[in-house]
Chain A
Amino acid sequence: MIYILQETFKGFFKNKSMNLITIGTITVAIFIFGLFIAGTTNLLNVIRIAEDRIEMVVYLKEDITKEKIDDLQNKISTILGVQSTQFVSKEEALKQFRNDLKEDATLLQAFETNPLPPSIKVNISMAFKTPEYLKEISDKIKIFEGVEDIDYGAEWIKELDKLVKILFFIDIFLGIIIIFASIFIVFNTIRLTVYARKEQIDIMDLVGATETYIELPYIIEGMFYGFLGSLISTFILYLLFETISKKIPNIIFMNNNAVFLFIFFGTLLGFIGSFLSVKQCINEIREMKRDDNLKRTLKKSF
C-alpha cells in the first residue's frame, strides 16, 4: 500500500504542467456544470415561489343567491386537489381593487355601479399546480350552476412549465458533455503517464506484480485529478454565490449534500477516465512488447 501511494504521488509531481492542465480543464468543466445546476436550482426556487402564488378564481353570476354560493363552495371543496375555498363578495372585491390601485382609485368613480363580480378563491394543493391538473379542476368547476368564468393563468403556467423543462434539458445535455470531456481529459493524461512508465510496467510484469499493483497508482492518480478539479470548482462556485447573494439576497448555493455529491461526481469521473485508460494502455504496452520481441526474433533469423 505504501508503494502504491508513493507511486501515485511520484506520478503526480513528475509531470506538473500536464497535470495542472488536466486539473484546470476538469475544474473549468465542472465549474460550468455547477453554474448551470446552481442556476437551475435558483430558477426552480423562483418558480416554486411563483407557483405557490397560483390560485384559481371562480367568478360567479351577478344574481347568485347565498344558498347557491354555500352549495358551490361545498361542491368545489370535494374536488381532488382543492385545499380550501374562500368567498369574495362584490363589495370585498371592490375594496381589494381599490387597495391595489391606490392613488389611481379615482378611476373607479367613472363607474356608477360596482363592475366586479362576486367570486370564490380556490386554493390548490402544491402537487396539483400543474397545467394538466389545473385544467382538470377548472373543467369540473365550470359545469356547476352559477359559475360565470374561471381564471387560473393557464397560459402563464404553461410557459413556466416549458421553461423548467428546457432548463432541465440543457442541464442534462451539458452534464453529458462535461462527463465525456472530463473522462476524455483524464483518459489522455493517464495515458501519457502510463506510457512514460512503460519500462516500469514491463519490469513489474516480469517480477510478478499483480494487476492491482500495476494499475492502482494510475487509477488513484486519475481519481485525484477528478477530486481536486471538483473541489476547486465547488470552492469557486461558493465564492461566486457568496458575492452574488450580497446583491440578490434570495439566491441559494448548493447545500452540504449537494457539495458532497458534486465532489464525489468529479472523483467518479476521474476514476472512470483513468480506469478505462489504464486497462487500454497496459494491454497496448504488452502487445507492443510482444510485437517488438517478435520483430527482433524474426530479424535475427533471416
Chain B
Amino acid sequence: MIEFRNVSKYYKNNWLALNKVNLFFEKGQFYYLIGKSGAGKSTILKMIYMDIFPSEGEVIVGNYSSKTIKQNEIPLLRRKIGVIFQDFKLLKDRNVYDNVAFALQVTGEKYQNIRKKTLEALSLVKISHKRNSFPYQLSGGEQQKVAIARALVKEPFILIADEPTGNVDPEGTKDIMEILFDINTKGTAILMATHDYSLIKTSIGKVVGLREGKIVKPEDIFKLDLSGGKE
C-alpha cells in the first residue's frame, strides 16, 4: 500500500535527513514510528502525502509514485490520506462543525452530502455535542478530536498522526489513543509518529524505529534512549 524504496533525503547544506530507507506499510495496520526529534519521522510522514520528495529512491502510495506523480494529482492523493498534527491546525474563525465540513467543501463534495458526512465524523470522535463551539473554547484533547474528524471525513485509507498527543493532557491523550485504536479496527490504517514510548501498545501495532535517518530495531531505541536520559 505504501512503500519506501531506498529513500534518501538531503536538506539544505547537504544535511542527510533520511538514509536509504526501505519501508512497507500494509493496509489496515497500526504503525508507530518512533525515534528522537529530528530522527526523520516527519520527513517520512511528509513524503507519504507528497509534501516533500525523496532526493534519491522512490515512495509509492497506492497507485502513485513520487517519481511520476503530476502536480495536479497531488490533491487527489491527499484526499485519500488523513493527516493530524501536534498543533491541530484548526481554523480559529470557524466552529467545530465548519472546521470539519471545510475539508469536504474545498474538495468539491456535493452540498447535500456535506452535512451527513460531517455529523458522522463528529460522532465517530465523540465531539458532536461541541459542534457549535470555537477552537479556543476547547481543550487540547478536544481540538485534536476535531482535527481527527476533519481527517476522517474524507474516508481516507490511512491516517497519519504526527505527535498527536504532544499538546494534549494525560486524560485527553488516553481519549485520543482510544479513538485511534477504534478507527483502526474499522479498517483505516494508522501511522503515528511519537517520541512518547509510553503510548505504544505492541499488542496492537507494529513499531518502526528511526535514528539519524536510518531504520533501526525498536528495542535499540528503547534501550539507548531510556538509558541515555529523557526522550
Contact = CB atoms under 8 A, between A and B. Distances in A.
B38 A297 contact: yes
B103 interface: yes
A165 interface: no
Main secondary structure of the interface of A (DSSP, over half): helix
Interface string A279-302: 000000000001001100110111
A207 B91 contact: no
A62 interface: no
A207 B103 contact: yes
B78 A298 contact: no
A210 B75 contact: yes
28 contacts: A3-B105, A3-B106, A199-B89, A199-B91, A203-B91, A205-B51, A206-B49, A206-B78, A207-B78, A207-B102, A207-B103, A207-B107, A208-B74, A208-B75, A209-B75, A209-B106, A209-B107, A210-B75, A210-B108, A211-B75, A213-B106, A290-B52, A293-B42, A294-B11, A297-B11, A300-B37, A300-B38, A302-B38
B107 A213 contact: yes
A202 interface: yes
B89 A204 contact: no
Contact of A211 (B43, B72, B83, B107): B72
Main secondary structure of the interface of B (DSSP, over half): mixed
B209 to A, nearest CB: 16
A278 B47 CA distance: 26
A200 interface: yes
A297 B89 contact: no
A203 to B, nearest CB: 6
A297 B83 CA distance: 18
B79 interface: yes
A290 B111 CA distance: 33
A2 interface: yes
Interface of A: 2-3, 199-200, 202-211, 213-214, 290, 293-294, 297-298, 300-302
B150 interface: yes
Interface in B35-52: 37-39, 42-43, 46, 49, 51-52
Contacts of B78: 205-208
Interface in B7-47: 11-12, 15, 17, 37-39, 42-43, 46
Contact of A200 (B12, B43, B83, B91): B91
Given A204-B106, A207-B79, A209-B106, 4 more contacts: A203-B103, A207-B102, A210-B72, A211-B75
Contacts of A202: 89
B228 to A, nearest CB: 15
Contacts of B42: 293, 297
B54 to A, nearest CB: 15
A211 B81 CA distance: 18
Interface string B139-152: 00000000000110
Given A203-B102, A213-B107, A293-B42, A208 B76 contact: yes
B77 interface: yes
Q: Which 10 A-B pairs have the closest CB atoms?
A: A301-B38, A208-B78, A208-B79, A300-B37, A209-B106, A300-B38, A3-B105, A207-B103, A208-B75, A213-B106
B36 to A, nearest CB: 8
A298 B91 contact: no
Query: Which of B76, B83, B102 has the most C-beta atoms of chain A within 10 angstroms of its own C-beta?
Result: B102
Nearest to A299: B38
Contacts of A211: 72, 75
Contact of A213 (B49, B89, B91, B108): B108
B46 to A, nearest CB: 8
A210 B107 CA distance: 7
Given A199-B91, A203-B89, A290-B52, A208 B107 contact: yes
Contacts of A207: 78-79, 102-103, 106-107, 150-151, 154
Given A293-B42, A301-B38, A206 B83 contact: yes
